[in-house]
Structure 1
């Protein structure tokens, strides 16, 4: 083999090895950043959370409920937006509870949280709702 072919092959192998090493390092760094973004500290969760006012409404069977939620957003801008959308939050809560009776309320509170999360994410333009927690409920 000629000297030129040997030099090209060695150069090609070196470029491939360097490229593979760079790709592995790059992918590992990106993967760690993704995990860091997913796992928020409790301080960040509290900072990006919005506490709804207590909502008092009736259920389909005539029972009354007073309920309050903690809505966790993904950013400061999303928290500010959900604060402005308080009327929509109240609307979703009232509509969902109006469909329930006392028994379904006792067993289906997680469904209300899920519906609230989905419906509010549909109207959000700045960020998203990550989770909804029931923090207070009274059934009369």
Structure 2
């Protein structure tokens, strides 16, 4: 019987994949909730400004996910940091597009192409931070 290395890696890091699935379902869940319900349910969200061009909430939501997705892909499939980051950006861009599509059909929400932009921007930021993190971690110790 042939051993499938990718499957073994996924099962070895099942907990990372569980967190990724929770992230994706959380994104979808947040897409169907009204913004007022989100603000009422998650206390610290009340302090995030909403009427600005720079959408902080997208950075808070998508950047850590991109970092974590990149880490998971690198660890599970033994990919380079850059390849892992690109895959993470693609998946999170699709997640952001799906989220905005759901919002388009949800009466209490407003879909926005700018939100798709900010989701992708935040994903790129998180993935880029992952690449920097990996480069810094691989640097030789400069201490004498």
More strand by share: 1
The verdict on a shared fold, with TM-score over 0.5 as the criterion, is no
TM-score, L = length of structure 2? 0.25
Structure number with higher helix proportion: 2
Q: Name the TM-score, length of structure 1 as normaliser.
A: 0.26
If you compute each CA radius of gyration, which structure gives the higher value, 1 or 2? 1
